[in-house]
A and B are shown apart, each in its own frame.
Chain A
Amino acid sequence: MQFLSQVGGSVTNGLAYVGSLASLGGQAAYYTFVAPFQGKPVRFQRAVSQALDVGVRALPILSLITFFIGLILALQAAYELRRFGAISYVATAVAISMSRELGPLITAIVVIGRSGSAFAAEIGTMKVTEEIDALETMAISPVHFLVTPKFIAMAIMLPCLTIWANSMGILGGSLFGVAQADFTFTRYISASIDSLFLRDIVSGLVKSVMFGITITAVGCLEGLSTGAGAEQVGRSTTRAVVMSIFMVVLVDLVFTALFFFISEH
């Protein structure tokens, strides 16, 4: 009996958590799409500076990681493919697995580490130093002022980063292709492009937009629910990273399943 009630309790908590994520996302959507028509303009300046932080500054590390991932994928695929004498399919394998799955996922994980944690720490610190309270007493909504620009920046920058990550992954694969599989560089790239359908790329990009929204929601929610004291900021940041990774994988599963059943018909 106690076991059942514990399971029930965790399920309820989990649903409540997803509910508060959705509520935060809903408020941000209101401030993005509805409030501007009621005389509350979106803070584009803040969104742009966030986008710079989230997107442009992530490029070096993201490029390096996805280049290596592409190379690893090529090596792993070739290990199996060469037994069938099909080593020329390496380009296809890398291109498809990067743009359908690994490009969006690796990008999301890098962004969680760089920005999701930073959101939680920034908002958590503001909560501890009563800056969030100060915003509220000045009749400025923290969601409008702080959270919405982050949502906009992330929803725009994650797909951009993902496209970049896909290309860097293919570039990484080409290193193996040229060195070990008798490709020329141009033939490797054109083989990769030929193997991709638009839906492969689009499904990855749709997922990446959802990842961006998820990471922002988790990071900001953890920040806003920070308790009193500096050590709570650390806890929120840790929770933001762990919960973001979990939520991103969950969202990934849901959307991959969705695309699978859509493409069946």
Chain B
Amino acid sequence: MEATLTDSLETTATISVRDLRVNYGEREILHGITFDVNRGETLVILGGSGSGKSTLLRTLVGLEKPTSGQIWIKGQDIATISSSAMDEIRKKIGMSFQGGALFGSMTVGENVALPLREHTRLEESTIEIMLRLKLEQVGLQGFEYYMPSQLSGGMKKRAAVARALAMDPEILFFDEPSAGLDPIIAAGIDQLILELKQAFRMTIIVVTHELASAYLIADRMVLIDKGNIVAIGTTEEMRASTQPRVRQFLDRVAEPEVARELDYLQMLTEERRRSR
């Protein structure tokens, strides 16, 4: 409690990213990204395939090491902190992966209870109650004894959200929450995110390329293209933006086909040259 109080006095930003650069081998994926995420807001990171938005998310939760730059989460720079301090931060964040990433060898209940069993000394009966609560929050009550393979795609995602919620995180990350789901189920997941936002005032960061869901859940949006931030602003600001790249993405205009092919060829030949 104390930490959150002092934090809120100092700044309203829960996450501050400063000049973040990330490399995969020789290739730079993110070219100096800077933005803030405010406490309690829902930030949607938009971008096309290969724009670097997933890399950004993976770096924010500490799965990729930045080449340079800083990521301040709750007042600590996760680019430089020790692994035990990183573990403490990780206990305060939840992440819902694209495919759910539920452990196939455990039941849904065991999956959701895993962080509690690992990181708390709660009694088994208490864990049972919390487990029921979390499953109810995502609309999966009664499914604790099912195996992940017996669940549909949408239910897997819900179960993954329940697992991400297990430790009552302050920040929740979503990687492509509606990918691979039909529109109705995807709308259900959006609804779930909205409910979480209203009920718990959680800071939520969502990576997606689904415009409809972005408009619905976002307080602010960041548009990323080729490893750079093209635009950042509230949903209304983005809608009103006249920047060509933003308009192209929001109005879903295709790239000129020929230019793309040439780019692609050029990229291929460059890679050849480099690997030699």
Contacts and interface: CB of A to CB of B under 8 A. Distances in A.
State yes or no: do A and B come from one complex: yes
A131 interface: yes
B91 A139 contact: yes
A206 B104 CA distance: 35
Nearest to A140: B118
B114 A136 contact: no
B99 A137 contact: no
B108 to A, nearest CB: 14
Interface string B64-90: 000000000000000000000011101
Counting from the closest, the 7 A-B pairs by CB-CB distance are A139-B90, A134-B101, A139-B87, A130-B101, A137-B95, A130-B97, A138-B115
Nearest to A125: B104
A140 B87 CA distance: 8
Contacts of B118: 138-140
Interface in B83-141: 86-88, 90-91, 93, 95, 97-99, 101-104, 114-115, 118-119
Contacts of B97: 130, 133-134
A129 interface: yes
A130 B62 CA distance: 14
Contact of B90 (A126, A130, A131, A138): A138
B63 interface: yes
Interface of A: 126, 129-131, 133-134, 136-140
A131 B103 CA distance: 6
B61 interface: yes
B63 A136 contact: yes
Interface of B: 58, 61-63, 86-88, 90-91, 93, 95, 97-99, 101-104, 114-115, 118-119, 163, 167
Nearest to A40: B118
A131 B119 CA distance: 18
B50 to A, nearest CB: 13
Contacts of A126: 103
Contacts of B99: 129-130
B101 A140 contact: no
B101 A129 contact: yes
B81 to A, nearest CB: 13
A137 B175 CA distance: 13
A138 B61 CA distance: 10
B98 A137 contact: no
B273 to A, nearest CB: 19
Nearest to B58: A133
Contacts of B63: 133, 136-137
Contacts of A130: 97-99, 101
A139 B95 contact: no
Contacts of B95: 134, 137
A138 B101 contact: no
A139 B119 contact: yes
B114 A137 contact: no
Given A131-B102, A138-B114, A139-B90, 20 more contacts: A126-B103, A129-B99, A129-B101, A130-B98, A130-B99, A130-B101, A131-B101, A134-B95, A134-B101, A134-B103, A137-B63, A138-B90, A138-B115, A138-B167, A139-B86, A139-B87, A139-B115, A139-B118, A139-B119, A140-B118
B101 A136 contact: no
Contacts of A140: 114-115, 118
Contacts of B90: 136-139
Contacts of B93: 137
Contacts of A129: 99, 101, 104
B195 to A, nearest CB: 22
Contact of A137 (B62, B102, B104): B62
Nearest to B87: A139
Contacts of B58: 133
Contacts of A136: 62-63, 90
A129 B97 CA distance: 9
B55 to A, nearest CB: 13
A261 to B, nearest CB: 41
Contacts of A138: 90, 114-115, 118, 163, 167
Contacts of A139: 86-88, 90-91, 115, 118-119
A233 B104 CA distance: 16
A130 B99 CA distance: 8
A16 B101 CA distance: 31
Contacts of A131: 101-104
Q: Which of A131, A139, A140 has the most CB of B within 10 A?
A: A139
A162 to B, nearest CB: 28
A137 B95 CA distance: 7
5 contacts: A131-B104, A134-B95, A134-B101, A138-B90, A140-B115
